[in-house]
Amino acid sequence: MKVNLLCGNRNLPDNILEEKQSESWIGIDRGALILYNHDIHQLFAVGDFDSIDEEEQRKLSNQLKLNPLNPEKNDTDLALGIEQAVESGYKEIDVYGATGGRLDHFLGAVQILEKPQYQEMNVVIKLIDDKNEIQYLTDTINQVAYSNIYHYISFIPVHDKTTISLSNFKYNLEQETLHQGSTLTISNELNEKEGIVEIIEGSVLMIRSKD
């Protein structure tokens, strides 16, 4: 099952809320209010809701059962929202509105992609904005479809020794070992309708992007 999470309205792809209005959504803190204002039904909302005022919380309470979290908690609203989504059985989670703000929150969101528990459960999480799509890949063979939206594909090694092979790309690789700090695999492109990304050892962040 697939679900979308909305954290806010920064850097959203054009018309994403209109195009995906009928899909499943979860509101994360202020994202819940944005979904409400767009008449989008949400499964539930997660957050301490410190970014919305009391009147806005009352509006949300007409549609949702709100249980505001303690602001002094051990995880971010997004981390707890993803956790609840996984517990609800969702295996594909697209996160919107999580970029363009504080860098600590953004890097925290990226680290959620790498959570070993989610890898063991085959949960696929993507961070998506108007120019990028970020996904974590570990030691598997991955088929990557050509996209008319995101023309460039980069691979950022997460571990110091990561071995990768790329097929059907502009710049193919055969069991190339990457180390942290390497920029060898920045800004590649697909040559065919589908590319093959094999992670033999280690893991990468795959970033699909456009200018």
pLDDT, one tens digit per residue, over 16-72 is: 999 999 999 999 988 999 998 999 999 988 887 777 777 777 777 777 776 665 566
> 2 and 94 in contact (C-beta within 8 Å)?
yes
* CATH number, residue 47: 3.40.50.10240
Q: What is the pLDDT of residue 196?
A: 97
Q: How many CB atoms lie within 10 A of CB 136?
A: 22
188 and 109 belong to one structural domain: no
The domain boundary, picked from 130, 165, 180, lies at 130
124 and 36 belong to one structural domain: yes
Side chain identity at 168, as an amino acid letter?
N
Q: Name the average pLDDT for the chain.
A: 91
What are the phi and psi torsion angles at 110 (to 5°)? -60, -40
> 92 and 2 in contact (C-beta within 8 Å)?
yes
Q: What is the pLDDT of residue 79?
A: 94
23 and 70 belong to one structural domain: yes
Label residue 73 by pLDDT band (50, 70, 90): low
- The mean pLDDT of 128-138, rounded to a whole number, is 96
Q: Cα separation of 62 and 140, whole Å?
A: 45
Q: Give the pLDDT confidence of 134-149 residue by residue, as tens digits.
A: 999 997 899 999 998 9
105 and 149 belong to one structural domain: no
Side chain identity at 211, as an amino acid letter?
D
Q: What is the pLDDT of residue 72?
A: 60
Q: Give the pLDDT confidence of 76-88 residue by residue, as tens digits.
A: 889 999 999 999 9
